[in-house]
């Protein structure tokens, strides 16, 4: 285990909100400056001084944003993995006393760090002395206020919600206090609550059926690799080897996290969160220099999500996503393969998307592709980038095909791999209709159903900027426009909106 250093320090959701001059970015900056001033006023700072403080904060954050990577730049796993000694780090950022910093973190003999964005720390080196000590104090006070606002008294909570909730996401009403506190508790003691959750909703038979589907999806991915017509045998062998070493976690950890040393008392909610933060930091710091614990989970069982972790080459499916509408142990195979099967195929495909393919079977960054196969992969991926770049999500805001490429590859691959696995089921082979729908139609309906959503315009605009996933609507439309099996199932003819022309159809996995 090694520590990572990454860029941070800005209060807006994306660094480009500081650097772009489009109307939305300007509006966000103006609202943010007023929000910062309002928070300082609540902190008993005079209105005039509060407005000065807000300008100081914006000035510093603008400088930090200017030397930061964009989200797109941060998608490159090679460029964001820079192993350095502390001396190397001091060479690019020596104005900051890294040795004292790490010692105060409890890391006395640290020799190696992984730096995600060297240009940020080089830029920080220039910024440190260009900003006065007094201004740094104002900036740090703001960070404390910003981080604590949601758990302070009602005026702070309301002001924070007015900006981050109402303005940025279009929310009309704040969640009730009990939900907000439950969310905080879940963040601190997720696996403790997870033990209760698993007992309530995840019986052993649900896990067994999910395990069978995962096995069938891994086998289907293997067939996809073997049968694809664009990859050389040499690269196929490497891909199959990587697939054969995939770790799989389903439902909940075999070993639960130990919370014995976490002190919970009745002296206040904020105090408990402070202690939890310190406890968590110490646990993380204690891992440095030790072997990786592969039993650990990156999500709690009650999280409705799943993930592929490239450095461990593993796919993980918490119990909460193995519930309707993603997975229903009482539903037919078509619906489950169209929903949960695609989710599983999606995560498997991440091992071979534009980022995951740069990691080997052991989770190390390593180029195991021939140059010719690498070029073919990029050409196919570019067609997917072009397709999603053409989608208008709202007003003049389009999907960013480059930012969402990995997830779009995951969706497209997941659909292909899951449908091929579904073909091996008795339901598909018997071809009997249910509710007047064929098995293939029910598969695609199951897929579309899990992405039904209501979303406010403000939230959609924000996600287009910061989310590596395409909007839900295009997670359905985009991949299906490339699937001949979908065309056949619903008689989608050439020229129809839901069918790409033959020359634009994309198939990677």
The one catalytic residue in 51, 347, 354, 373 is 347
Strand partners of residue 113: 84
Give the integer Cα–Cα distance in Å for 485 and 441. Answer: 10
Model pLDDT, residue 329: 81
Model pLDDT, residue 470: 98
Model pLDDT, residue 377: 97
- Please report which confidence band the pLDDT of residue 388 belongs to, taking 50, 70 and 90 as the band edges: very high
Query: Could you report the per-residue pLDDT of 160-200, keeping only the tens digit for each?
Result: 999 999 999 999 999 999 999 999 999 999 999 999 999 99
Superfamily grouping for domain 203-257+296-504? Collagenase (Catalytic Domain) (3.40.390.10)
Taking alpha carbons only, the member of 393, 315, 397 closest to residue 353 is: 315
Strand partners of residue 392: 398
Q: Which of 203-212, 296-305, 480-489 comes out lowest in average pLDDT?
A: 203-212
Query: Could you report the per-residue pLDDT of 343-360, keeping only the tens digit for each?
Result: 999 999 999 999 999 999
Model pLDDT, residue 311: 95
Contact predicate 417/345, CB 8 Å:
yes
User: Percentage of residues in the chain with pLDDT exceeding 90?
Assistant: 94
Helix 118-130 and helix 47-66: axis angle, to 10°? 140
Model pLDDT, residue 209: 82
Model pLDDT, residue 205: 85
Active site residue 44: no
Contact predicate 61/18, CB 8 Å:
yes
Model pLDDT, residue 273: 95
Question: What is the torsion angle, in degrees rounded to the nearest 10, for the CA atoms of residue 479, residue 481, residue 482 and residue 488?
Answer: 120
Q: How much is the average pLDDT of 317-336? A: 92
Superfamily grouping for domain 4-174? Neutral endopeptidase , domain2 (1.10.1380.10)
User: Percentage of residues in the chain with pLDDT exceeding 70?
Assistant: 100
Model pLDDT, residue 474: 98
Residue 78 has pLDDT above 90, yes or no: yes
User: 176: which DSSP letter?
Assistant: P
**Could you give the 3-state DSSP secondary structure of residue 166?**
helix
Would you kindly state where each structural domain of the chain is located, as residue ranges?
4-174, 203-257+296-504
Query: Could you report the per-residue pLDDT of 443-460, keeping only the tens digit for each?
Result: 999 999 999 999 999 999
Model pLDDT, residue 203: 87
Give the integer Cα–Cα distance in Å for 303 and 319. Answer: 8
Model pLDDT, residue 200: 93
Contact predicate 506/385, CB 8 Å:
no
Model pLDDT, residue 187: 95
Taking alpha carbons only, the member of 246, 236, 238, 276 closest to residue 259 is: 276
User: What's the sign of the alpha-carbon dihedral 455, 461, 467, 470?
Assistant: positive
Active site residue 387: no
Contact predicate 422/428, CB 8 Å:
yes
Strand order in the sheet with 307-309: 247-251, 314-318, 307-309
Query: Could you report the per-residue pLDDT of 194-243, keeping only the tens digit for each?
Result: 999 999 999 888 888 889 889 999 999 999 999 999 999 999 999 999 99
Taking alpha carbons only, the member of 53, 39, 40 closest to residue 135 is: 53
Give the integer Cα–Cα distance in Å for 169 and 160. Answer: 12
User: 324: which DSSP letter?
Assistant: T
Q: How much is the average pLDDT of 251-267? A: 95
Model pLDDT, residue 204: 87
Mean pLDDT of the chain: 96
Asked whether the domain spanning 203-257+296-504 has the same topology as the one spanning 4-174, the reply is no
CB environment 277-303: b (16+ within 10 A), e (fewer): eeeeeeeeeeebeeeeeeeebebbbbb
Residue 108 has pLDDT above 90, yes or no: no
Model pLDDT, residue 210: 85
Give the integer Cα–Cα distance in Å for 375 and 372. Answer: 5
User: What's the sign of the alpha-carbon dihedral 486, 381, 402, 74?
Assistant: positive
Taking alpha carbons only, the member of 203, 476, 483 closest to residue 339 is: 476
Cβ partners under 8 Å of residue 142, min gap 6? 11, 36, 39, 40, 53, 57
């Amino acid at each position: 285990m090694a520590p990572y250093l990454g860029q941070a320090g800005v209060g807006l959701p994306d660094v480009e909100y500081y650097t772009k001059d489009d109307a939305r970015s300007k509006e966000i900056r103006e609202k943010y400056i007023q929000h910062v001033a309002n928070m300082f006023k609540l902190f008993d700072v005079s209105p005039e001084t509060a407005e000065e403080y807000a300008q100081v904060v914006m000035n510093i954050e603008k400088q930090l944003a200017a030397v930061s990577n964009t989200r797109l730049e941060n998608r490159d796993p090679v460029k964001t993995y820079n192993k350095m000694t502390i001396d190397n780090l001091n060479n690019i950022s020596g104005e900051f006393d890294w040795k004292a910093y790490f010692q105060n973190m409890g890391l006395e003999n640290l020799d190696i760090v992984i730096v995600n964005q060297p240009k940020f720390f080089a830029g920080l080196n220039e910024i440190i002395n260009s900003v006065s000590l007094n201004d740094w104090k104002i900036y740090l006070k703001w960070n404390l206020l910003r981080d604590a606002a949601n758990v302070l008294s009602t005026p702070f909570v309301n002001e924070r919600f007015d900006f981050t909730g109402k303005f940025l996401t279009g929310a009309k009403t704040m969640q009730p206090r009990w939900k907000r506190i439950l969310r905080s508790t879940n963040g601190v003691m997720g696996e403790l609550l997870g033990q209760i959750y698993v007992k309530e909703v995840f019986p052993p038979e649900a896990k067994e059926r999910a395990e069978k589907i995962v096995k069938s999806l891994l086998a289907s991915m293997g067939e996809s690799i073997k049968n694809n017509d664009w990859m050389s045998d040499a690269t196929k062998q490497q891909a199959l080897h990587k697939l054969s070493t995939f770790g799989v976690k389903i439902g909940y950890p075999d070993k639960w996290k130990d919370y014995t040393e976490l002190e919970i008392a009745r002296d206040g909610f904020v105090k408990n969160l402070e202690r939890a933060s310190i406890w968590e930091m110490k646990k993380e710091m204690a891992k440095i220099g030790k072997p990786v614990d592969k039993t650990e989970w990156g999500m709690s069982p009650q999280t409705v999500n799943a993930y592929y972790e490239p450095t461990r080459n593993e796919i993980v499916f918490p119990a909460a996503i193995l519930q309707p509408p993603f997975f229903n142990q009482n539903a037919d195979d078509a619906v489950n393969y169209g929903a949960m099967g695609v989710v599983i195929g999606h995560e498997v495909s991440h091992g071979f998307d534009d980022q995951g393919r740069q990691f080997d079977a052991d989770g190390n960054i390593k180029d195991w592709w021939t140059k010719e196969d690498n070029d073919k992969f990029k050409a196919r991926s570019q067609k997917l980038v072009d397709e999603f770049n053409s989608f208008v999500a709202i007003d003049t805001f389009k999907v960013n095909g480059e930012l969402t490429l990995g997830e779009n590859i995951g969706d497209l691959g997941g659909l292909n791999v899951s449908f091929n696995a579904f073909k091996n089921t008795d339901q598909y082979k018997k071809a009997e209709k249910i509710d007047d729908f064929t098995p293939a139609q029910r598969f695609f309906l199951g897929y579309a159903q899990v992405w039904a959503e209501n979303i406010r315009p403000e939230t959609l605009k924000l996600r287009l900027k910061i989310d590596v996933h395409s909007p839900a609507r295009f997670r359905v439309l985009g991949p299906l426009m490339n699937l001949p099996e979908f065309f056949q199932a619903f008689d989608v003819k050439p020229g129809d909106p839901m069918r790409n022309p033959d020359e634009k159809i994309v198939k990677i996995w």
